[in-house]
């Protein structure tokens, strides 16, 4: 489905199931005026939400968590209906969202606590120093179509937990899950600090025009446009963009586990995961054996659209545009000498593309340089670990990587040489489930991070510094008017004494100054 395939008239987006093309719902295309009005309303209610404090907000977040779990099966139905995912792939969305609600609700008070450091500078020693974290009033969260319920959860929940109001703009391809997401918040009677803006890129642009912080997930190309729009308004932003995540399979790896893990890491959600395995480098001594095992695993995958019976492993792609990108990458590789040892073409039904393993691939092919975001695994033979690292780092992207080895120390050594935001050793995608460590891309894969303990909440806050007297205050501070040589020398002498290294530099007045 392309953007225009979704459109019926100037005011509505028709949503279709990409697995079979049937219409599953419709949402309005919201104008910039409507978006501005929604942001104004959020701004009105946000101070009360902030004033509730983390404990008051926790009550609502946990109530919402109950709603998500109580409605999980229906939410999964909706996710499947607009993405063409398998039941298994869709099932994680509400459950992980509930777990994220639990995490942020229960940790927010500690993560947002004021800090009261002792002053390093003797001139501020008489002050009580406080850093307090105040939320951006309205956060804009712009999400893509690959996890239409979970993606809003990943970013909206910490923003709400931090005390911000949120204006959510989902992808036009999959807005129905976001409708559910916001509906749940309303249904539990929570304060009106979460609103939805549906539409195309223009609606996204209107969100940026009306919020105080932007959290964007999607393609690198759109991410750059978002960054420019934010710069125009001097807005802070965080971008989670595309990836081309390498897997490095070393000769000492458990090949059975590597072939299982890489098949899953490459095919999960039909390869439409920002941190999915997109290219594989295998040390020469185990190349043939690994390729045979991987090919067998991928060939066995059952593809199709199931319902609540969990019958299939791999589902459809979210749009026909996405299927065409996958096809182009495979076709270009094959034209340049690569071979599809399994898969290699669309199935002919909906947007399904066969799970594919490519060999005889080289680093210059589009399947190795551009984000594919589909069910393909191109595999390259390398001489050794150094070549694997060099080729893994030879990319404009730097989201995550996996290393497969029997030696954990070697794995960690290699991790520290990879130019990516996350490395999973002997596992794939596992960092995405670890809320306590940051998830973010280097290079063209993003700016900023999400999750990562306190940092995941503090990103939605403006630190505010407060100083207050710690001791009884005199009528005048040392540096106040009128200037007095004695008081200036005393104050700066204290500072100089604390900063001086060696007795020679302890002198009260700066070198050359009149005494």
Binding site for ligand NDP (CB under 6 A): 142-146, 169-173, 200-201, 204-205, 208, 217-219, 222, 225-226, 240-242, 274, 322, 325, 371, 373
**214 token code pair:** 């932007």
Q: Which is nearer to ligand NDP, 253 or 367 (CB)?
A: 367
Stated as kind and residue range, the H or E segment containing 66 is: helix 53-70
Q: Which is nearer to ligand NDP, 252 or 331 (CB)?
A: 331
Contact 291, 379 (CB under 8 A): yes
Q: Which is nearer to ligand NDP, 296 or 331 (CB)?
A: 331
- Minimum gap (Å) between residue 495 Cβ and ligand NDP: 48
In whole angstroms, what is the distance from residue 280 CA to residue 418 CA? 14
Angstrom distances, CA of residue 503 to CA of 276, 342, 486, 497: 59, 75, 22, 9
Give per-residue burial for 433-447: e unless 16+ CB within 10 Å, then b.
Answer: eebeebbbbbbbbbb
- Minimum gap (Å) between residue 13 Cβ and ligand NDP: 8
Q: Which is nearer to ligand NDP, 143 or 297 (CB)?
A: 143
Angstrom distances, CA of residue 266 to CA of 168, 282, 375: 29, 15, 6
Active site residue 240: yes
**473 token code pair:** 């205050």
- Minimum gap (Å) between residue 181 Cβ and ligand NDP: 14
Residue spans of alpha helices (H) in 268-382 = 287-299, 320-335, 366-369
Contact 344, 354 (CB under 8 A): yes
Q: Which is nearer to ligand NDP, 405 or 431 (CB)?
A: 431
- The candidate with the shortest Cα–Cα distance to 418, out of 403, 437, 438, is 403
- Minimum gap (Å) between residue 221 Cβ and ligand NDP: 7
- Minimum gap (Å) between residue 212 Cβ and ligand NDP: 16
Q: Which is nearer to ligand NDP, 154 or 161 (CB)?
A: 154
**392 token code pair:** 């893994």
- Minimum gap (Å) between residue 497 Cβ and ligand NDP: 53
- Minimum gap (Å) between residue 20 Cβ and ligand NDP: 20
3-state helix, strand, coil in the chain (%, to 5): 45, 20, 35
Catalytic residue among 82, 93, 172, 240: 240
Q: Quick one: how many helices (H) and strands (E) in the chain?
A: 17, 22
Residue 13 phi/psi, 5-degree rounding, is -110, 125
- Minimum gap (Å) between residue 18 Cβ and ligand NDP: 12
- Minimum gap (Å) between residue 215 Cβ and ligand NDP: 11
- The candidate with the shortest Cα–Cα distance to 337, out of 354, 374, 362, 369, is 362
In whole angstroms, what is the distance from residue 159 CA to residue 141 CA? 9
- The candidate with the shortest Cα–Cα distance to 13, out of 254, 178, 223, 195, is 178
Q: Which is nearer to ligand NDP, 97 or 297 (CB)?
A: 97
Q: Which residue is nearest to ligand NDP (CB)?
A: 204
- The dihedral through the CA atoms of 187, 188, 193, 197 has a sign that is negative
Q: Which is nearer to ligand NDP, 111 or 397 (CB)?
A: 397
DSSP secondary structure code for residue 281 in this structure: E
Residue 163 phi/psi, 5-degree rounding, is 105, 5
The residues near 486 (Cβ < 8 Å, ≥ 6 apart) are none
- Alpha-carbon radius of gyration of the chain: 27
Residue 378 phi/psi, 5-degree rounding, is -80, 135
Residues belonging to the active site: 240
């Amino acid at each position: 489905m392309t953007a225009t395939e979704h459109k019926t008239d100037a005011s509505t987006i028709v949503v279709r199931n990409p697995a079979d093309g049937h219409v599953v719902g419709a949402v309005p295309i919201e104008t910039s005026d409507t978006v501005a009005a929604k942001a104004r309303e959020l701004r009105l209610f946000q101070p009360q939400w902030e004033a509730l404090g983390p404990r008051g907000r926790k009550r609502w977040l946990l109530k919402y968590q109950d709603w998500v779990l109580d409605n999980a099966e229906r939410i999964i139905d909706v996710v499947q209906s607009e993405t063409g995912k398998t039941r298994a792939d869709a099932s994680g969305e509400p459950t992980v969202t509930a777990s994220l609600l639990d995490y942020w609700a229960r940790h927010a008070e500690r993560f947002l606590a004021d800090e009261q450091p002792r002053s390093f500078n003797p001139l501020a020693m008489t002050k009580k120093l406080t850093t307090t974290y105040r939320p951006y009033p309205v956060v804009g969260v712009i999400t893509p179509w690959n996890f239409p319920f979970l993606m809003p959860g990943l970013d909206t929940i910490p923003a709400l937990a931090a005390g911000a109001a949120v204006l959510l703009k989902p992808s036009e391809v999959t807005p129905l899950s976001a409708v559910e997401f916001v509906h749940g918040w309303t249904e539990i009677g929570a304060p009106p600090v979460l609103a939805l803006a549906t539409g195309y890129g223009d609606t996204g642009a209107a969100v940026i025009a009306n919020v105080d912080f932007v959290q964007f997930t999607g393609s690198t190309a759109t991410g750059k446009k978002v960054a420019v729009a934010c710069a125009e308004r001097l807005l802070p932003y965080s971008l989670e963009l595309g990836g081309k995540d390498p897997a490095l399979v070393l000769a000492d790896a458990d090949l059975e586990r590597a072939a299982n893990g890489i098949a899953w890491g490459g095919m999960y959600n039909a390869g439409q995961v920002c941190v999915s395995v997109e290219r594989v480098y295998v040390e020469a001594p185990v190349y043939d054996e690994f390729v045979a095992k991987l090919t067998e695993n991928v060939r066995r995958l059952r593809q199709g659209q199931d319902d609540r019976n969990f019958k299939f492993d791999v589902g459809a792609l979210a749009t026909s545009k996405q299927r065409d990108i996958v096809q182009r990458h495979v076709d270009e590789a094959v034209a340049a000498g690569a071979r599809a040892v399994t898969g290699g073409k669309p199935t002919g039904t909906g947007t399904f593309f066969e799970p594919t393993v490519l060999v005889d691939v080289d680093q210059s092919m589009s399947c190795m340089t551009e984000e594919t975001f589909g069910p393909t695994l191109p595999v390259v033979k390398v001489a050794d670990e150094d070549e694997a690292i060099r080729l893994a780092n030879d990319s404009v992207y730097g989201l995550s990587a996996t290393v497969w080895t029997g030696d954990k120390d070697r794995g960690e050594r290699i991790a520290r040489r990879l130019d990516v935001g996350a490395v999973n050793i002997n596992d794939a995608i596992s960092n995405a489930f670890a809320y306590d460590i940051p998830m973010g891309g280097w290079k063209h894969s993003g700016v900023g991070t999400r999750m990562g303990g306190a940092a995941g909440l503090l990103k939605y806050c403006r630190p505010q510094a407060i100083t207050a007297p710690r001791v009884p205050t005199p009528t005048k501070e040392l540096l106040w008017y009128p200037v007095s040589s004695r008081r200036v020398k005393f104050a700066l002498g204290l500072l100089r004494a604390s900063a001086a290294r060696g007795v020679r530099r302890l002198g009260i007045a700066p070198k050359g100054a009149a005494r």
